[in-house]
Structure 1
C-alpha cells in the first residue's frame, strides 16, 4: 500500500482530486488531497509546504503528486516519489512570473484549455469551486537550491491544451532530464480520466 498526497494546481482545491482519491482507495492505497492556501495573500511557499506536510501527518514515505502549478509545491515536501501531472517544473530561484518566458511557453490560443474533455456536470462544478490565486508565493523565488534527490516521474496528457504534449516533453527533458510518461486526456485528467490516472499513479509505485 502506498500513501498519495495529491496537490492541486493554480486556483484549484482538494476537490479536483476526489475521483482519483476514491479510485486509489479502491485499489488499497491511502490518499489525501489538500487545499493549498492559494487565496491567502500572506502565504508563501513555506506555507504551501506546511499545509501538505500537515495533511500527510504521521503517514510515512508518501508519494507526492503535483498537478499544474502544484509542480512548484510538490518538490518541497519530503517524499519517496514525486509525480508531476501536466505540471510546471520550477528552477531554483525562479518565480511563477519568470517561468513562462524562461521555459519558452507560447500558449495555444485555444478556448477552454482546462475542461474541454471533462464531463459537463463535473466541469461546471470545477468552475464553481475555482479559487483566486493571490498568495505571496507567486511573487517569491522558488526556494530550493536544486531539485530534490527524490525519484521523479513526469506524466503528460496528450490532449492537454494548457501544456501541449510537445511543450511538456521538452520541459521535462530540459528541466529534469526525464523522458515523460504519457496518457490520453486533457489538462484536468483527474476529472476526465480519474480511473486511468489512478492506475498510472499506482503503477509508478510498483516499479
Structure 2
C-alpha cells in the first residue's frame, strides 16, 4: 500500500488490521500479531507499518516495544479498545470524531513537509541583480528548476506512436505470441497465451 505522498525514507506502507475477541487469550493473540509483524519487517525493512483495530483487553506494549501506540482517547464508553500502533515515533495525533458503537478517531500526521518556496529567502536571490530583470528572471527560474529536481522524482517513459501507453514490453511480447499462434492455427498455443494475458486485462482498458 503506497499513498499519494510518502516520505522518502519509507518504501511501502503496510497496514495490519486486527480484531481480538473479548474471549480470546490476549497473550496468544499478541504473540500471533508479533510473529506476523516480524515476518513482514524482515521482508520489508524500510516499510512504514501500522497495526490497528479492536484490541479489546490486549496490548502489544510488551511484545512489540519498538512500536508506539497513538490512540489516547476513549473509543467505547470510557474504555480505549481501538488502538493504532506504528513503528515511527511522534507520527500521529488522535482526535475523537463522533459516537457510535466504537467511536471514530481521526489520526492526524504530525509531520508537515516544508514548502521549498516558503522557506526561501528571496531577497538573497534578487538583490545581487539590482534592476537587471533578465538576470533576476534567469536566477529565479534556475532556482525553481532546482527545487523541482530535488523534490519531484523523475521517470523516463518510452512511448511509441503505434502503441498505447499501457502496452508494456511484457504485454507486447505476449500479444506478438498470440498473433503468431493465430497465424499458424495453433489453438492450444492461443489458449495458453490467452491465459497468460489474463492478468493484463485491466491494463488494456483505457
Tell me the TM-score normalised to structure 2 length. Answer: 0.30
Q: Based on CA coordinates, which of the two structures has the bigger radius of gyration? A: 2
Between 1 and 2, higher relative CO (CA 8 Å, sep ≥ 6) is seen in: 1
Tell me the TM-score normalised to structure 1 length. Answer: 0.30
